[in-house]
Structure 1
Amino acid sequence: MTPWEAVAIFAAGTAAGGINAVVGSGSLITFPTLVALGYPPVLANVSNNIGLVPGAVASCWGYRRELAGQGGRLLRLGSGSLLGALAGGLLLLSLPESAFKMIVPALIVIALVLVVLQPRLNAWVRGRRSGEAGHGGPLLWALVCLAGVYGGYFGAAQGILLISLLGIFLPDDMQTVNGIKNALSGIVNATAAALFIVIAEVDWAVVGLIAAGAFLGGYTGASVGRRLPSWALRGVIVCVGLVAVVKLLTG
C-alpha cells in the first residue's frame, strides 16, 4: 500500500462515517474506493464492514441523548438486526456477489419512496396499530431482520432502509429515529464483523485506516445530523439515496 492509497482509504473512511451517522450508505464511498485501488470485491467488502464498526460506535455516542430510554426497543429490534446480519454475512461468503447487487437499486428506490411518504404512512400505521405503537410490532421486527440480512451482505443504504421503516412504524421524531437507526446499523456491522473476523480473509491495514477515519467522521456526522430539522434530514436522505442508485446502476 502506497502513502497515497493510505490517505485515500482514510479519507473515504472519514466520509463514510459521517454519511452513515446522518443517513447511511457510507459504504458506497469506501467499497468503490477499495475496488478502484485493486482490492478483490469480497475482501474489500469484508474489510470495509469491519472498519466501519468504530464509526457506528461514535455516531451512537453522538446521538446518546436521543437514545436515552430506548433500551427496550433496541433489545427487541436489535435481536432482529443480529440474526439478519448473521444470515447476510453467511450469504456473502457463500453466494456470488451479483446475487444481491441485482436488487439493491430497487431496494433503495423503495426506501426513498417510504422516506418521502413517511409522515402520512406513520399516521396511518399509528391509527391501525395503536397497541403496538411503542415498538412497531412483529412486522417491524421482521422487516428490521431483513434489513439486517441486506446489511450483513453488503451494507450500502441499509441506513436508508432502516430509517424509512422506523420512521413509519415508530411514533417518534426523525432525530430519535435516526439515533435508533444508527444503533441498529451498528449491531449489524458489529455482528457481521465478528463473523468475518472468524471465517473470512481480512486486510487489517485497510481495516485500521477505515476505522480511524470512520470514528472521526461518525462523531462529526452525528453532531451535524442532530442539528438538522426533520424536513432537512429527510431531504438529505433522498439526495444520498438517489446518488447511491446512480452509482450502483452505472458502477
Structure 2
Amino acid sequence: MSFMQACFLFFAAWMSGVLNSVAGGGGLIIFPALIVTGLPAISANATSTLASCPGYIASISAYRNELWAQQQLSWLFGSVSLVGGMLGAVLLLHTPASVFDQLVPYLLLLATVLFTFGNSISTLLQIAPKETAQNSSCFQIKASFVQLLISVYGGFYGLGISFLILATLRILGIKNIHQMNALKVLMIMCTDSFAIVTFIIAGVIAWQQFFSDGFKKFSHRLNSSCS
C-alpha cells in the first residue's frame, strides 16, 4: 500500500467516523475506499467490518445505563446477534468472489436506500403494541427471528444494518431513542465480533489497511461518546 493510499484511507476513515457518530452509514464510505485501493470485495468487506468495530466498542460505555435498564432485551438481542453474525460471515466466505462482486452494486444500492429512507420506512411500518408486549413470549420469538435475519445480513455484508435495526426496533414498539441507540450499538457489536473472529481465522482481513483506518474511527467515536 502506497503512502497516498494510506492518506486516502485515513481521510475516508475520518469521514466514516464522523458519519457514524452522527447518523450511521460510515461503511458507505470506507468499503468503497478499500476497493479503490485495490482490495478484493470480500477482503474489503471483512476489513471494513473490523475497522468499524472499535468505534462501537467505545460507544458501549456511553450506553451502559440504557442497556442495564433493559437487560432482558439486551441479552436476547445480543445472543441472537452473535449467532447471526457468525452465520453471515461463514456464508460470505463460502460465496464465490465472482458472485459477490456481482452482488456488490445491488448491496450498495440497498444500503444507500436504507440510509436515505430508513426513518421514513420505519415510521410507515411502525406498530403500537401493548405496553406489556415486550415481556411476552410471542414478542421475544418474533423479535429474535427478525434480529437473526438482520445479523446474518450484517455478518455477510453489513452496510445499512444500523438503519435495519432502528427500523425493526420501531416496528416492535420501542420508542425511546436512547434505548434504541443502545440496543443498536450492542447488536452491531455482537454481530461484528463473531463475524470478525471468522474473518480472522479465514485470513481475509487486510491488516495494513485496517491499521490505517480502524484506530481513527475508534478515537473519533470515543471522543464523541465522551462529549
Per the TM superposition, whether the score is higher than 0.5 is yes
Structure 1 position 163 matched with structure 2 position 157: no
Contact 1:46–1:200 (Cα < 8 Å) also in 2: no
Q: Secondary structure at the match of 1:145?
A: helix
Letter in structure 2 aligned against 1:141? S
* Equivalent residues of 1:83, 1:145 under 8 A apart: yes
**% of aligned pairs identical?**
24
- Report Cα offsets for 1:157-191 as digits up to 9, x if no partner: 00010011112214341122012101111111111
2:113 counterpart of 1:133: no
What's 1:153 paired with?
156
Between the aligned partners of 1:222 and 1:171, the Cα distance in structure 2 is 22
Q: Which amino acid aligns with 1:132?
A: A
CA contact (8 A) 1:50 1:207 kept: yes
| Offset, 1:20 | 3.0
* Within-5 A mapping of 1:12-161: 12-95=12-95, 96-97=99-100, 98-99=102-103, 102=106, 105-106=109-110, 109=113, 115-116=119-120, 118=122, 121-122=125-126, 124-127=127-130, 130-134=131-135, 136-161=139-164
**Runs of at least 5 residues in structure 1 that lack an aligned partner in the other structure:** 225-251
TM-aligned CA deviation for residue 125 of structure 1: 3.5
TM-score, with structure 1 as normaliser: 0.76
User: Displacement, 1:104?
Assistant: 6.0
Corresponding residue of 1:200:
203
Contact 1:48-1:206 at 8 Å conserved across structures: no
- Relative to structure 1, is the Cα distance of residues 80 and 111 closer, same or farther in structure 2, using a 3 angstrom cutoff? farther
Q: C-alpha separation between the residues in 1 aligned to 2:167 and 2:2? A: 40
CA distance in structure 2 between the aligned counterparts of 1:176 and 1:223, rounded to whole angstroms: 18
Measured on the aligned residues, the alpha-carbon RMSD in Å equals 2.6
1:28–1:107 CA distance, 2 compared to 1 (3 A):
closer
* 196, 206, 215: which one aligns with 1:212: 215
Aligned length, in residue pairs: 221
Q: Deviations over 1:47-67 (max 9, x none)?
A: 221122111101222333433
Give the deviation of 1:84 after TM superposition.
1.2
The Cα offsets for residues 6-37 of structure 1, whole Å up to 9 and x where unpaired, read as 22212322332343344332111111001111
Task: Provide the rounded CA distance (Å) in 2 between the counterparts of 1:145 and 1:35.
Answer: 28
- What is the TM-score when the length of structure 2 is the normalising length? 0.84
